[in-house]
């Protein structure tokens, strides 16, 4: 295909949904909603219409069953259960009986009545502020589209008409379509709607497909054939980049052209060593189970941050202790003997659903979230802690508490953990009573009093993304503040360095698990600070391992000393870039 190069370059921002960088040619999927004709039927046709409805539902259920099997094979674990909700919607007997009653009563076609009943059911859900209700709308739309397709004889939308290795753009994609796109080797996905917590997003993250959502009318702004660079980490899309930028990224083609999963399969075993043969502990941040687990464990890579929010987001309620135990135990077994650091639920008022007594907050990031929400729901918190403790006998599991701000808060959380231990002992359930417990250092108050907090726990994990946000009072998702959110800020670096020093004073290790951990510019600096572990998104592991192999420890320490003398972001970035270029030149 001949590409024109005189198109105007446009950069648009969306929501970072699944990290990774990809480039390719856009393929835009349009969905023009077909209105269902209001058709009157005779008495003699009623039974036939209801029979057609039953057949359409039966075929839909077969399709969904196939999707379930594909998801289980490609992803496995609890993520594949996302399709369970669509099966329940499709087989809702009460709803189907109501549709049949209306067919008899109004003498209208099955397609028309079904579509009207779906629309009536979705209306209150669409108005809801509840994220789970809005997710239900997406699931209902996905199911009803299948049923109506059979009732009206519409052809199925085919992705096979597009070549492989494309970046797919659309209003929204269903979980089944994401699986289809994965089969088509989609390099990235961009949507106008959706959120990082949608079922679509969970599937995309599990399959490690770079994804940006929430780009308003993006399917109207991008045309098939446009050149795109998608940065899933920043939530940024560059449309028709300048020729020099396009050629530059194509030089990395061998690396970026491969799907992230393919790249990861080529990883060297870990831990990695610096140029002067010092081992650097590198681990992965895992958002959701998937094929990535098998690849990472095969390369001796542990999990420095295992996020558990997906267990709640995929089904709209908190799973039971036993349900959580099954998930954690499976993951711990997969990674053994490498460590598995399980972070307790880091959910806030922006994610809590209808079964919680949450209130609307103007700024959820500063509200009832993280450990605050867990302590506010002690039964749910202890369910999770008991599930983790039951897995701890495997010997590679640790507990990580999010958003700790002070000692009283930490003591309350530790008290709940001790109570959970007592409950397990009463039931004669074995666990590791010496399980290591750590805290996230992600708010300035925790970083400032790190010396006192370090005496109470077994390890620190620095969340540089939130620490930057809170230190600089800058919402990282606010497009108007993009230039202000910068982890190179001297104040942020000072808090990180001091937190590491405080931890080492008490002989406990420190992990950094934010974006800085996988950034080639900051990896040498963090090593110079004395960081014990870098935990990053799996898509960053290849590049990080290459950088680590070029670093000498003493040079990294001198770099850290230089950086701490600088007073502004530009000077810090300039010095880090110079050091990075010197590493490349020294190859």
Which are the catalytic amino acids?
Answer: 199, 513
DSSP 108: B
- Position of tokens 């530790």? 414
Counting Cβ atoms within 10 Å, is residue 251 exposed (0-12), middle (13-18) or buried (19+)? Answer: exposed
Question: How many whole angstroms separate alpha carbon 265 and alpha carbon 251?
Answer: 21
Question: How many whole angstroms separate alpha carbon 415 and alpha carbon 362?
Answer: 31
| Diameter of the chain measured on Cα atoms | 88
Is residue 57 within 8 A of residue 196, CB to CB? The reply is: no
DSSP 275: T
**Is the sign of the CA dihedral 364, 367, 372, 373 positive or negative?**
negative
Question: How many whole angstroms separate alpha carbon 456 and alpha carbon 264?
Answer: 37
> Hey, what are 324's tokens?
């959580």
User: Is beta strand 227-231 parallel, antiparallel or unpaired with respect to 21-29?
Assistant: antiparallel
- Position of tokens 């789970």? 132
Question: How many whole angstroms separate alpha carbon 527 and alpha carbon 431?
Answer: 35
Read off φ and ψ for residue 18, nearest 5 degrees: -145, 115
Question: How many whole angstroms separate alpha carbon 313 and alpha carbon 347?
Answer: 10
**E-strand spans in 14-140?**
15-18, 21-29
Is residue 228 within 8 A of residue 165, CB to CB? The reply is: no
- The set of residues, in sequence order, having a beta carbon less than 8 Å from that of 287 and lying 6+ positions away, is 205, 206, 307, 310
DSSP 37-52: P--B--GGGHHHHHHH
Residue of 178, 176, 236, 246 whose CA lies nearest to 209: 178
Read off φ and ψ for residue 167, nearest 5 degrees: -100, 120
């Amino acid at each position: 295909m001949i590409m024109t190069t005189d198109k105007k370059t446009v950069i648009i921002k969306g929501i970072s949904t699944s990290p990774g960088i990809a480039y390719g040619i856009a393929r835009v999927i349009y969905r023009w909603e077909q209105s269902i004709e209001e058709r009157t039927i005779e008495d003699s046709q009623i039974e036939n219409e209801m029979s057609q409805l039953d057949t359409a539902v039966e075929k839909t259920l077969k399709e969904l069953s196939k999707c379930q099997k594909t998801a289980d094979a490609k992803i496995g674990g609890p993520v594949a259960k996302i399709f369970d909700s669509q099966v329940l919607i499709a087989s809702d007997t009460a709803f189907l009986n109501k549709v049949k009653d209306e067919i008899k009563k109004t003498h209208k076609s099955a397609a028309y009545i079904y579509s009207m009943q779906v629309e009536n059911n979705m209306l209150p859900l669409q108005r809801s502020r509840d994220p789970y209700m809005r997710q239900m709308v997406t699931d209902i739309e996905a199911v009803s589209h299948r049923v109506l397709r059979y009732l009206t004889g519409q052809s199925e939308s085919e992705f096979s008409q597009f070549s492989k290795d494309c970046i797919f753009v659309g209003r929204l994609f269903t979980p089944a379509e994401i699986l289809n796109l994965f089969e088509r080797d989609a390099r990235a996905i961009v949507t106008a709607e959706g959120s990082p917590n949608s079922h679509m997003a969970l599937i995309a993250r599990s399959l490690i497909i770079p994804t940006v959502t929430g780009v308003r009318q993006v399917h109207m702004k991008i045309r098939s054939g446009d050149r795109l660079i998608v940065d899933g980490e920043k939530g940024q899309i560059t449309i028709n980049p300048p020729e020099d930028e396009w050629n530059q990224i194509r030089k990395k083609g061998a690396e970026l052209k491969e799907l992230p999963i393919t790249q990861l399969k080529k990883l060297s075993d870990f831990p990695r060593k610096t140029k002067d043969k010092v081992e650097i502990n590198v681990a992965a941040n895992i958002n959701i189970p998937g094929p990535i687990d098998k690849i990472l464990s095969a390369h001796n890579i542990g999990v420095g941050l295992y996020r558990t929010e997906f267990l709640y987001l995929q089904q709209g309620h908190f799973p039971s202790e036993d349900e959580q135990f099954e998930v954690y135990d499976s993951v711990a077994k997969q990674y053994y003997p490498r460590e598995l650091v399980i972070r307790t639920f880091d959910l806030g008022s922006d994610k809590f659903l209808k079964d919680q007594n949450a209130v609307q907050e103007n700024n959820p990031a500063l509200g009832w979230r993280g450990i605050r929400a867990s302590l506010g729901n002690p039964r749910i918190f202890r369910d999770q802690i008991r599930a983790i403790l039951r897995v701890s006998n495997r010997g590679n599991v640790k507990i990580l508490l999010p958003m700790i701000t002070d000692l009283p808060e930490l003591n309350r959380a530790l008290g709940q953990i001790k109570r959970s231990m007592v409950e397990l002992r009463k039931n004669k359930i074995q666990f590791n009573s010496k399980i290591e417990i750590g805290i996230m250092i992600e708010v300035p108050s925790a970083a400032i009093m790190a010396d006192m907090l370090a005496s109470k726990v077994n390890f620190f994990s620095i969340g540089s993304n939130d620490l930057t946000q809170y230190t600089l009072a800058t919402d990282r998702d606010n497009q108007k503040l993009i230039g202000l959110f910068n982890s190179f800020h001297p104040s942020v670096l000072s808090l990180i360095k001091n937190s590491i020093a405080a931890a080492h004073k008490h002989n406990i290790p420190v992990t950094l698990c934010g974006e800085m951990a996988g950034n080639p510019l900051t990896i040498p600096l963090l090593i110079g600070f004395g960081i014990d572990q870098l935990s990053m998104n799996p898509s960053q592991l290849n590049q990080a391992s290459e950088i680590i192999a070029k670093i000498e420890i003493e040079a990294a320490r001198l770099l850290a000393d230089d950086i701490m003398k600088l007073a502004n972001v530009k000077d810090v970035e300039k010095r880090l870039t110079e050091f990075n270029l010197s590493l490349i030149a020294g190859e």
